[in-house]
Structure formats: C-alpha cells, structure tokens
Structure 1
Amino acid sequence: MIHLPHLITDLTLILVSAGVTLLIFKKLKQPVVLGYLITGLLIGPNFTLFPTVTEIDSIKIWAEIGVIFLLFSLGLEFSFKKLVKVGGSASITAIVEVVSMLAIGYITGKAMGWNLMDSIFLGGILSISSTTIIIRAFEELGVKNRKFASLVFGVLIVEDLVAILLLVLLSTLAVSQHFAGDKMLISVLKLIFFLAIWFLGGIFLIPTVLKKAKKLMNDEMLLVISLALCLLMVSLATVVGFSPALGAFVMGAILAETTSAEKIEHLVKPVKDLFGAIFFVSVGMLIDPKVLIQYGGPVLVITVVTIVGKTLSSGLGALLSGQPLKHSLQTGMSLAQIGEFSFIIATLGLSLKVTSDFLYPIAVAVSAITTFTTPYLIKLAEPTYNFVYRLLPEKAQLALTRYSSGTQTIAETNNWKEFFKTYLSTIVTNSIVIIGILFTVKYLTPKLNESFINNNSYGELAIIVIAFALMSPFLWALSAKKIQGTAYKQLWVDTKYNRGPLITLEILRIMLSIVFIGALVAQFYSINFAIISAIIISVVSFIIFSTRLQSFYGKLESRFLTNLNAREISAASKRMDELMPWDSHLAYFTVNPQSLAVGKTLVELSLRENFGVNVAVIERGTRKIKIPSKEEYIYPYDRIAVVGTDEQLKSFEQYISSEPTNDIESNGGEVTLHKITVNGNSPLLNKTIKSSGIREKAMALIVGIERRNERILNPESSFRFEKGDILWVAGEKKLIQAIVS
C-alpha cells in the first residue's frame, strides 16, 4: 500500500479548510486573515471536533517560509524612496504612536502582574498597526483617496521600518535578558550600517544584472531569480546575526526600486498568498481556547487599551505634526488595530522562549477583535470629530486651526544647513562603503590565512593592495570630491570668517580618508607603520591617480543614480510614449515669466492654429495636468510638454521664450504655497508689499496675510508688514527664500 507522508495530508487539510473558510468569509465580507486564524483554531491540536494537523513542527517550518515571503512582499510595496518621500507629519505621527504604545503596553502588562519580558513584548505587539487590514478596510469603505488616507499610508511605511528595528532590539533584549544600553546602541548602529551597505550595494548591482538579462528573462526566470535573491539575503542576514524576516524585507525594498518591481510583485503574489495562508493558519493553531477563557479579562483589557491608546496616540501625533483635528481623529481611529507584525513579534518571543505561553493567543485574540472593529471605527471617525469639535471652546477651536495652518512652512535660507546636508551625505555614503570593505577584509583574512596565505607577508600585501584598489574611488570622493551647490560658494564669498571653518571641514575629510587607509594597513602591521603608510599612500595616490579616480567614481555614481531612478524614468517615458503621435516628438518648455502666453488660457493662445503644436502635459508644482482642457491657464514657470515636429517646436520656442529640454527629471522650480512669519530680523519688516519686491524679484504672489487672528485675503500693494504677520505666498521656494532671508 502506498504511504502518503503526513506533511502532504496536513497541507491538504490546511488548504482545503482555508479554502472553505475563505469562501464563507468573502460571502460575509469579513477580513480573510480572520478566516485563516479561525481555520487554524479549528484544525489545531487544541480543538478536537474536526480533523487535526499531526506534524506541527513541519507546519511551523512552512509558516517560517510564509513569514519570509510575507515580509518580502511588504518590502516590494515599501521602497526606501517612499520612506524618504514620507512627509514630516507621517513620521511624527508614527514615532509618537509607536513610543506611546510601547510605554502603554509595558505599563498595562506590569499592572496585570506580568513579568518584565511579557510586558516589553506586549508593548512591541501593540505598537505596530496592520497594513493588510487597513488597506482592505479603506478599499471596502471607498476612502483610499481621502486626504487622511494618504497620511495613514505614510505612517504605515514608517511603521514597517520601525517594526524591523523592533525585531532587532527585542531579539537583543531577549538574549541579554536586561536593558543593556551599550548592546542596544550597538544593535541599532549595526542595523543602520547593514541596511545602508545592503541598499547601496543592492541598488548598484541588482538592477544592472536584471537589465542586462532582460532579453533572456521570462516570467518563470524572473520569479525564480527574485525568490533566489530573497532567500540569499535571508541567509546573509542570518549569518550577520539578524532575523530572516529582516533579510526578506530588505531584498524586497531593493527590488522595489527596479523597473521590474511591479512584475515581480505580480509574480510573487501567488507564492506569498499560499505561504501567507499557511502562516496565518499556523498562528491560529497555537490558540488555546482554554487559555483564552482563562485570560478573557486581559484580552478585553488589552483590546480596549489598543483601540483607545492607538486612537489617542496616533491622533495626538498627527495633531502635533500640524494636521487638522478632523484628519488627526480619522488617522487615529484608522490605525487602532494590530496585525501581521504583531504576530511576528509574538512568534519571536515564543521561539526565543522569553515570553509566557499565554501572550501569543492573547495577541491573536486582540488582533481578531480589532480587525472586526476597524471598519466601524473608520466610519465613526467623522461623527466623532463633529461631536468633539462642538464640545471645544471657541478659543480652542481657533488655536487648533491656527496651529494646523502651519503645516506648510518655509524656513529662511540657511547656507550652512544646505552645505552640511551635502557635506554629510558625501561623507556618510562613502564611509559606509569603505567600512564595509574593511569589515570584509577582517572577516575573510583569517579564512584566507587558513587556506592560502599562511601569514605570508606577500599574501598580506596582496590583500592590502586589492582592498585599497576597491576602496580608492570612495576614498577619493570622501577626501577630494567637490561639494556641489550654491551654498558652498555663497559661504565662501559672503565673509572671510566662513573660510576658516570651511577649510577645517575639508581637512577633516582628508584626515578621515587617511584614518581609513591606516585602519586597513593596521590589520596586518603596527599602528606607527600604518599611519606613515597611510599618509604616503594618500599623497602618492592623489598625485598620480586623482583624475582617473574622479572619472571612475563619476561612472559609479552615475550607474547608481540611474539604477535608483530607473523605475520613475521608465514610468515617465511610458506615459510620454502614450502621447506621441506619428512622426512628431515631445519636448519640454519652461514658461518665461515675461512670455506673452502668461495669464492666458489654451483656447486664447490657439497654439494648434498658430504653431501646429499640442500641449500634452502641464506640470505646476506637484500637480501634473495630463491632456489639459482648453480653459486651462498658463502661469509663470509652468513646465509644459508640447508635441510637434522640429519646425513647429522651434517656432513655438521663440514664442514661449524658454529653452526646450527632453529631460524628464528637470530641476525646474515648482509653484507651491508657502508660509512666512515676519520676525524681528526679517528684511520684510516695516516694508509694503510693493517695496518688498516679492512679486518682481521672486515672481511670487502674496495671497493672504494673518495678523492678530484676522485674515486678509489678496491684500493691497500698500499693505505694510508688521512683526508677527504670517504671510501666505504662492511661488517657487528658492526664489522666495532669496527675498525673505
């Protein structure tokens, strides 16, 4: 008789049960994750009414694979560039929420008499909201395009990264069993370093490889290669001492920057759904109904703490970041649940054997309840705001309105701030790569000694030469690359007192590069010899190889930036290709403020009749108007995409008085709304609008002024500025800064 392995029968039971439950929950319009949890409970070892899974250990391995692919998919949706683009409001909201819930969870655990580790892990479990549940709820309620929804999505992006940090910190804490500040700091620095080195290396190599192999790549190959890269990073993260989940997340975030990201996400989705289902079912298997009955009180308490605590902490964070009260409440009530990351944190405590058995099923039960409540909380957010706002005194309403109006601000120009941003970016980026090479040398040298070198001086010298060759482009950039931008030139010209600090900072760059060379040599020779060698090598290399290193580094930097922006450039090109008719081509023009076209509608300009061209796109600040209507106006500094032949575009260029460009990623200014506060040192103080030169010099328009709780819309040119006035100005940021600073 043929014997069927228990693993296959168990998987059959899991998938059949999950499929049936899935149909039921779809019919009832309930979250799928909740159905998986209930399936796990019914076929788990703690519930004997239905057939039961027999090989729990094997299923746990499948569940771990599910966690890997779940985090890989989250990484594909995450993208490091999305994190950079997340506004200050989302970052502040996420940080306030996470810190508050860590503290609230810890206090709640201690108040119920739990031990230290259970309380700490409870705080971690409650601190991260569920991306899956929120997105599904937003889709079902049709609020994905509401203003507060964009803030919520930004918070979830920041929370994803914070969750990865929490996994590392909780793992470190679980091993040490006490708060060790130095170990925590080392873990955080180690995480930041490896995230940076993996990101820099991954962006440089992986998109290039995928691009080179594009002609050979079919769907099957792309899927296999993507999963192979995921598991490779999982293995690498484990070797370095991090969790497999971190490696999967990082590789997903790297692939999210490639032009194949959407295709990879589409191909991986069935794999993620399959193993994700097994993961969530396995979570349900660990639920013990007896434990839930025994700890029914704590489940209820923690559920209330989660809903109230996350609503208040997220709402407070959004309010502090300058969001209106309405959006703050909507954000807080949307984030009032826990989900997939909470399961992973609870699983971590269980696998490390540092948390009690009851914590895991409690976390799952709270997640299940808050999954049910989330859609209702989102619906109740607006009525709750109306109720709260009516209760507030008029002064409080006015204060909140004035505070939230400060979300769009403009700081006075600070050349030192701009300079330091570029300066530190150059130092940090190149230092990370150099330190990565030094660590690699330190790690590989003992292994090479055992196999090949046997402490031979020539072998050690060969290692130094190879390592220095790899480091040299980045050492050149660290010590000799020019700090680009107008801030440096302005600081140098403004006053002679700036020159001393600038020269000192340049010397520090050179000294740091010498230190890195010395650190390389010091791994094999004495400190004194390393210092002398580092100075000699630096001088000789700079004299002989400076030009070559500059050229080579330029190519490296260009390749990295091309890979980093490839997805956006490709998407923009596709959009533009859709607009190309026959033999015409598309060119971009920036509207000169003095152009006769300014202030006129497209129908008034009659561009098709006069020049034979069509306006395909108008870019105005962050707004992109695709195929604009004939009633659309042309404003100064609008960037317009025009379709026509060479002759037609040349004629149009003379009319519009601007230089055409085909560069999609232009650095042209954007017309946006800015807030300026007139203080005691402001050059605008006691000047009229007309004498300030804002309109003439900055090509900007003062659209409103706030003075002592009074709002003046479209003020007269004779209006005189006073201390404390708040100006709302429409125009290009850099031009405005030049006037107000």
Structure 2
Amino acid sequence: MAHIPHFITDLALILAVAGVTTLFFKKIHQPVVLGYIIAGLLVGPHVSLFPTVMDSEGVRTWSEIGVIFLLFSLGLEFSFKKLVKVGGTASVTALVEVAIMFGLGLLTGKLLGWTSIDSLFLGAILSISSTTIIVRAFDETGVRTKKFATLVFGILIIQDLVAVLLMVLLSTFAASQQFSGYDLLIQILKLVFFLTLWFLAGIFFIPTFLKRARNLLNDETMLVVSIALCLLMVLLAVEVGFSAALGAFIMGSILAETSQGERIELLVKPVKNLFAAVFFVSVGMMIDPGVLQLYAQPILIITFIVIIGMPLATILGSLLSGQSLKHSIQAGMSLSQIGEFSFIIASLGVTLKVTSEFLYPIAVAVSAVTTFTTPFLIKRSMSVYTFAEKRLPKKWINSLNRYSTSSQQLSAYSEWKELLHSYFINAVIHAVLIGALIILSRKYIHPVVSELFDKPLGGNITAIVITLVLMIPSIWAISIRRINKEAYSNLWLNRKLNRGPLIAIEIGRIAMAVLLVGLMINQYFSPSVSFLIAVVAMAIATVLFNQKLQAFYDRIEKRFLSNLNDKEHERGLKQEITPWDAHLATFDVQPEFPLAGKQLLELKLREQYGVNIALIERGKLSLISPDRHERLYPGDKLSIIGTDDQLARMKDVFENSPHETSEQHVNEDEIALQNFTVTRESPLYQRTIRNSGIRDHAQGLVVGLERNGNRMLNPESTIPLEEGDIVWIVGVRNRIEEFFKGQSK
C-alpha cells in the first residue's frame, strides 16, 4: 500500500473531529466556530484523548490560507460604498468604542505586568466584536428586523476596517519594535494611498472585465477567476509591505461593488468554510489547558472588561452620535464579545513571534465565554433600558431625547460645504493616481527606456515625456477641471466676498499640480529646472489640449461611475429609513399571497397596521411612494416602513420573514429620509398633509410628525401643519432637497 503523507491523515483527523463537534454545537444552538476550536483542542498536542496531528507546519500553512479566504469573504460582505453609507452615527459609535476598548486593553495588560507588545495586542484584540457571533445571535433571538440591528451592522463595518488598520500598524511595530507618531502617520498615509489606488484601479477595470466575459463565466470559471484575483491582490499587498490578509480583504471589497459580487460570495462560501474550519481548528490546537488554568484570573478579568466595558463604550458612542437611549442600550448589549478578527490579530502576534504564548489561548477563552453570554445580553437589553429609564433623572432623559432629535435634523444646505467636499475628493483621487505614476515611472519606465540611449540625458527626457503624457488627465483634473459648477457659480455671483476665497482655491489647485509635476521631474533634474519644465508643460497642455482633455476625462469618469453603480442598477432601489423607532424592511409578495391583485386602497395597511409602503420593486421597475390605486402583484418586493412591532405583524401577514435592508442594499442617491421645520413664512403653514404638495412636488411620503415633543408615526393626511412642526418625508432624494431648498429661500 502506498504511503499516505502525514498531511492527508492530519486533514482527515481534523475534519472528522470537527464534523462531530460542530454537529454537537449545532444541536445545542451554539456557533460552530466554538466547535472548531474544541476540535482543535482535542487533536492538538496538549490533549491525549484523540490521535494527535503529526504535521503541525502543514496545518499552519493551510490555516494561513484559511485567513486569506476568511478576509476575502469579509471583504465581499464589506464594500467601500457600504462604508460611505453607514453614516456618521455608526462611524462615531464604532470609533468611540474602539478607542475606549483599546485603551482598556492596553491599561489592563500593563496592570497585569505584561510587556508593552502584549498589552498593545490585547488592546487590539478587545477592540473588535464578532460579526459571525452577532449575526447568529440575532437570528436566534429574532431581532434582525429591529431598528437597532441596523446600527449594529454599521458599527461592525467600521470595526472591520479598523481591524485591518490595526493589523497593519501592529505588523509595522512588531518589525521595528519602535512606534512614534511619525511612524503612525506614515503608515496611515501609505495605507490610504494604496487603498485608494487599488479601489480606483479595481473599479475601473474589474467590473468591465466581468461584464465582457459574462457569457464565458459559469460557476466554475467564476470561482477560479475570483480566487485568482484574490491571490494576485495578496501578492501585490505583500510586495508593497502589507499583510496577505489585507490584500484578500481589499479584493473582496472591490468585487463586492460589481454586479457579480453576491454570486462570487455564494461561490466562495464553501471554499471559505473549508479553509476557515482548518484555521479555527488550528486556533484550538494552540490552546494549552494548563495555561488556561494558570491564567484563570486574567481570563476572568478580561472577560469582565469585555462584557461590561464594550457595551458601555458602545452606549456612550451611540449617545454621542445622536441615537436614543433605547437603541444605544440595545446596540451596546449586542456588542459584548470578541471573535474571528480577535483570533486573527492574536495569530498575527504568534506568526510574528512577538507576543507571549499565553495571549493566544487567553483570547480564545474570553471569546468562548462571551459567545455564550451574547444571546442572554441581547434578550435582556430591553429590561436594562426600562430599568435605566426609571432610575435616571427625568431631566437627563428629556435632554437625551432632545439631543437625539436635534442630531437628526436636516443640516443646512451649504454651497461652500458642497464645493469644498468636491474639490477635496477630486484632489485626493488624482494626487494618488499621479503618485502611482511617479512610482511606476521610477521603477519601471525609466530603467527600460534608459537602455535605449547611450547617455543618461536621453533616457531621462524620454521617461519624463512618457510619464507626463500619462499624467496629463489627472493634472488637468486637479488644476483646470470645473467641479460642481452650479455651486461655484452661485457663490461667485451671490456675494463679492466669496470671490477672493474662490480665486485662492483656483491658485492653490494650480500650485498643487505644478508641485506634483515638479516632484516627478525632480527625480531627474534640479528643483529649479523641474519647476520651470512643470510650468511650461502645464501651460502647453492647457492651451493645446483643453477640449480634448475634457472629452477624454468625461469618457473615463463615465466608465468609472458606470462600473461603480452597476450593482445598484441591476439590483434596484432599497433604503434603510429610520425616523425614531421606525425603519424599513422588505417583504416578498408570494404567488399564493391572498391579497395579491388588490389595490393599496383596499388593503388599508396604514389603517390596520400603521405602516406605509415606501417602495414597490417590480422586476426592473421601481415605484417610489406608490399611490393608493397601485396594485400588488406576485413577485413584487415591498419596502415597508414601520416600528418593530408593526413590522412583526406584517411578517405574519406575508407569512415569511422580511429580508433586512442592511447596508448591503442601500442606494442612498435615490431614496432618502429628510425632515424640516414648519414656520409661519412656510407655504406649508396651516395646510393639511394631503394638500401640502409634498407628494406632488417632492414625490415624497410623510412618515412622521413631531409637535410639541409628541411624535406621530405615519400621521393622518387630514392633519394641518402648524408652526414648529417637524415633518419627516421619505422620497426621491433630489426632489426632497429641491423642495427644502425652495422653502429656505
């Protein structure tokens, strides 16, 4: 009989034991991740009940592949557009929580007498909650349709990005054993540079490739192509000094923006599950029960910090961001555990050989305990809120409610804000592209062309000319391109005082372009010569090629935006809308649905259930704020706004669970929620909602009304609007903004 390599027998042992333990954990309704860890403990070198893995190095190699696929899958669920859309509330909450927990972890490590590097890694481990555990707990407790769940998912998105940043920074610190503010700034700028560059290049090329090859990409070839792209980005990330996990995460985020993102996620899932299982088993193999017993006291202390500190930090951040006390407490008590990212950060310390042996098993033990406590804390969150509301002074409660309401008010339209934001984004994007071309020129173009000339001067000039030609579109965009023309014209014409700052901005743009060109030329000539060549080159390009550059740039921008929005165009419009306790959930009209074919007028959903239908998706047709005569047909997808209880009743009506409209389904540019305050000068003053013109002019639907501190969700259309009323409208974003802007004039 042929000899079987140890790795195959080890893999058979790992999967067999993991299969049994995960079946048991499924039976007792616990996350399978814990089953994998227990399986690793059983087949590891520290427990003799089962045969032991022979080739530990081989298992470690496969576990590293598991990390790559795990981060790739997280990237597919992440996407950069979703990061932009989670809003300030989730961002502020997540950053406050991460800062507090990182500080608590660092302080705890120091008080326990650990080294600085162990304390730093502990802070990072305690900063990140577990997406896997939270999703599982939400399913088990039935709270995925609750409003606070949307906030939690937004926080998890920010935490994922912070975790990636922490991995980069900790890797840098581990390599140099020195960490200063300058090092931190350089690493952040380097990360931002490459993230922006990879995202721009990825969105420009990859969606186009996938669309043109669509007919050739069956499930098999799509899986192979996706994994190939993932591994290529892994190689690229390692080449520029980042971790393999970061490269996998970035490629997943890029593919998530394509119309094939969900398909790729589905195809990769079995591969990810297999290799992730090996990774989590390898986590368990590193646990020494003797170490756990020896460090029982630190484990209890750190577990207490996670269970108490993380919810309190989240509650504080949520309140600061403008959330109500109820939703802050519910979100805080959901984020009370550590999980897969904490394992990855802990394994990073082991791989780099900079952390002590006890830190890894301690992190796993804390994760195991907090996993069991998470569902209990989620279920008890309403009781904690009720207790807090009764015990806190009434004045505090009223102040929190006023702060929450005022933070959700429509911010004043500022043309300066819009213009500066547009200029900033334009400058960052094209500065990154120019920086990439400078690096490309120095490392690849110049060495190649230098071989064609006997003297260095010829090679230098040729490299400069080629690089300048490639840089021209970006240089033109930074210095000449008109951005947000309407806002610029209004600012220039409305007040003469605006003209000075506007001229200064234009001069600054030109100076920035000259500086970037000069930096490129300075690699080959002196600064004075470089500056002169830069000015002359820009002047010639502007005079001779302005119109052609405009047309060329428009084509590039159109293609980029088309690729960026391709996913939304194919999927349609869905939006999370959250006035007070109301939010949006979607329901499918099944063929056997007894109310199919009836008009909304006949259904009387508002009268019977207090909800509103904000959107009907019918194939590629999207009906926003449908009128009362619209009918429901089998296959329709309804986006319904209501409270948790109202949507729960709608779930019973439709006899199937709603698909939560999380950040994965947001198209913020099309449908949105806005509010405004009625004044005596307002044309809406003393008009009823029905006669206000909101539906006709803003294509909007009134879903909330606040009067003298009293809030009415989905108010009657016969209610007249009074001075001081705050009216909440859902509808087409552009029309609502025009409607508000018209009133403010």
TM-score scaled by length of structure 1: 0.83
Q: Residue 119 of structure 1: CA displacement?
A: 1.1
Q: Residue 173 of structure 1: CA displacement?
A: 2.1
Pairing 1:249-264 to 2, within 5 Å after superposition:
249-264=249-264
Partner of 1:97: 97
d(CA) in 2 for partners of 1:66 and 1:511?
Answer: 48
The answer to whether residue 81 in structure 2 is matched with residue 84 in structure 1 is no
Partner of 2:740: 736
Q: Residue 343 of structure 1: CA displacement?
A: 0.6
Pairing 1:185-196 to 2, within 5 Å after superposition:
185-196=185-196
Partner of 2:168: 168
d(CA) in 2 for partners of 1:133 and 1:39?
Answer: 18
Q: 1:346/1:602 Cα in 2 relative to 1: closer, same or farther (>3 Å)?
A: same
Pairing 1:218-617 to 2, within 5 Å after superposition:
218-444=218-444, 447-448=447-448, 456-572=456-572, 617=616
Q: Residue 443 of structure 1: CA displacement?
A: 2.6
CA deviation profile, 1:549-581 (whole Å, cap 9, x unmatched)? 11111111111011101111112399xxx99xx
How many matched pairs? Answer: 664
Letter in 2 for 1:740: S
SS across alignment from 1:30: coil
SS across alignment from 1:99: helix
Identify unmatched segments of 5+ residues in structure 1: 580-599, 605-614, 634-639, 641-664, 679-683
CA deviation profile, 1:164-196 (whole Å, cap 9, x unmatched)? 111111112222323311011000010011000
CA RMSD of superposed structures (Å): 3.4
Q: 1:451/1:551 Cα in 2 relative to 1: closer, same or farther (>3 Å)?
A: same
Contact 2:451 2:459 in 1 (8 A): no
Contact 1:618 1:626 in 2 (8 A): no
Q: Which entry has the higher C-alpha Rg, 1 or 2?
A: 1
CA deviation profile, 1:435-462 (whole Å, cap 9, x unmatched)? 1111222232575478666763323222
Contact 1:616 1:628 in 2 (8 A): no
Letter in 2 for 1:216: L
Contact 1:460 1:524 in 2 (8 A): yes
SS across alignment from 1:357: coil
Partner of 1:129: 129
CA deviation profile, 1:45-82 (whole Å, cap 9, x unmatched)? 11122100011111111110000000000000101111
Q: Residue 543 of structure 1: CA displacement?
A: 1.5
SS across alignment from 1:179: coil
Q: 1:455/1:80 Cα in 2 relative to 1: closer, same or farther (>3 Å)?
A: farther
Q: 1:493/1:602 Cα in 2 relative to 1: closer, same or farther (>3 Å)?
A: farther
Identify the range of structure 1 (283-292 vs 401-410) with the bigger mean alpha-carbon deviation: 401-410
Contact 1:40 1:283 in 2 (8 A): yes
| Residue identity (%) | 49
d(CA) in 1 for partners of 2:530 and 2:233?
Answer: 35
Q: Residue 624 of structure 1: CA displacement?
A: 6.0
Partner of 1:72: 72
CA deviation profile, 1:326-360 (whole Å, cap 9, x unmatched)? 21111111110001110111111122222111111
Identify the range of structure 1 (3-12 vs 510-519) with the bigger mean alpha-carbon deviation: 510-519
Partner of 1:589: none
SS across alignment from 1:481: coil
d(CA) in 2 for partners of 1:241 and 1:221?
Answer: 30
Letter in 2 for 1:40: G
Contact 1:413 1:738 in 2 (8 A): no
Letter in 1 for 2:530: A
Contact 2:687 2:720 in 1 (8 A): no
CA deviation profile, 1:299-328 (whole Å, cap 9, x unmatched)? 111011101011101111112222122211
Q: Residue 4 of structure 1: CA displacement?
A: 1.2
Identify the range of structure 1 (119-128 vs 533-542) with the bigger mean alpha-carbon deviation: 533-542
Identify the range of structure 1 (37-46 vs 509-518) with the bigger mean alpha-carbon deviation: 509-518
d(CA) in 1 for partners of 2:334 and 2:29?
Answer: 18
d(CA) in 2 for partners of 1:288 and 1:454?
Answer: 66
Letter in 2 for 1:23: L
Pairing 1:147-186 to 2, within 5 Å after superposition:
147-186=147-186
Contact 2:230 2:248 in 1 (8 A): yes
d(CA) in 1 for partners of 2:227 and 2:302?
Answer: 38
d(CA) in 1 for partners of 2:356 and 2:409?
Answer: 49
Partner of 2:675: 674
CA deviation profile, 1:536-557 (whole Å, cap 9, x unmatched)? 1111111111111111111111
d(CA) in 2 for partners of 1:616 and 1:706?
Answer: 27
Letter in 1 for 2:273: D
SS across alignment from 2:564: helix
Letter in 1 for 2:383: P
Q: 1:562/1:454 Cα in 2 relative to 1: closer, same or farther (>3 Å)?
A: farther
d(CA) in 2 for partners of 1:324 and 1:137?
Answer: 23
CA deviation profile, 1:567-615 (whole Å, cap 9, x unmatched)? 11112399xxx99xxxxxxxxxxxxxxxxxxxx98789xxxxxxxxxx9
d(CA) in 2 for partners of 1:687 and 1:572?
Answer: 35
Q: Residue 398 of structure 1: CA displacement?
A: 2.2
d(CA) in 2 for partners of 1:572 and 1:551?
Answer: 30
Partner of 1:56: 56
d(CA) in 2 for partners of 1:227 and 1:685?
Answer: 62
Q: 1:557/1:689 Cα in 2 relative to 1: closer, same or farther (>3 Å)?
A: closer
SS across alignment from 1:674: strand
Contact 1:669 1:733 in 2 (8 A): no
Letter in 1 for 2:739: L
Identify the range of structure 1 (507-516 vs 263-272) with the bigger mean alpha-carbon deviation: 507-516
SS across alignment from 1:282: helix
CA deviation profile, 1:100-142 (whole Å, cap 9, x unmatched)? 1001111111121212111111110000000111111111222
Partner of 1:607: none
Q: 1:367/1:451 Cα in 2 relative to 1: closer, same or farther (>3 Å)?
A: farther
d(CA) in 1 for partners of 2:668 and 2:286?
Answer: 55
Identify the range of structure 1 (5-14 vs 460-469) with the bigger mean alpha-carbon deviation: 460-469
Q: Residue 405 of structure 1: CA displacement?
A: 2.1
Identify the range of structure 1 (696-705 vs 273-282) with the bigger mean alpha-carbon deviation: 696-705
Letter in 2 for 1:734: E
SS across alignment from 1:733: helix
Identify unmatched segments of 5+ residues in structure 2: 575-587, 590-598, 604-613, 633-638, 640-665, 731-735
Contact 2:37 2:280 in 1 (8 A): yes
Q: Residue 211 of structure 1: CA displacement?
A: 1.4
d(CA) in 1 for partners of 2:673 and 2:258?
Answer: 30
CA deviation profile, 1:268-321 (whole Å, cap 9, x unmatched)? 111101100000000000001110000011111101110101110111111222
CA deviation profile, 1:499-536 (whole Å, cap 9, x unmatched)? 12212211221222222222222211222221111111
Pairing 1:31-42 to 2, within 5 Å after superposition:
31-42=31-42
Q: Residue 249 of structure 1: CA displacement?
A: 0.1
SS across alignment from 1:259: coil
Q: Residue 737 of structure 1: CA displacement?
A: 3.4
Letter in 2 for 1:568: E
Q: 1:526/1:496 Cα in 2 relative to 1: closer, same or farther (>3 Å)?
A: same
Letter in 2 for 1:483: I
SS across alignment from 2:675: strand
Identify the range of structure 1 (165-174 vs 685-694) with the bigger mean alpha-carbon deviation: 685-694
Letter in 1 for 2:325: L
Q: 1:104/1:523 Cα in 2 relative to 1: closer, same or farther (>3 Å)?
A: same
Letter in 1 for 2:332: G
d(CA) in 2 for partners of 1:110 and 1:165?
Answer: 23
d(CA) in 1 for partners of 2:232 and 2:667?
Answer: 37
Letter in 2 for 1:85: K
d(CA) in 2 for partners of 1:703 and 1:229?
Answer: 47
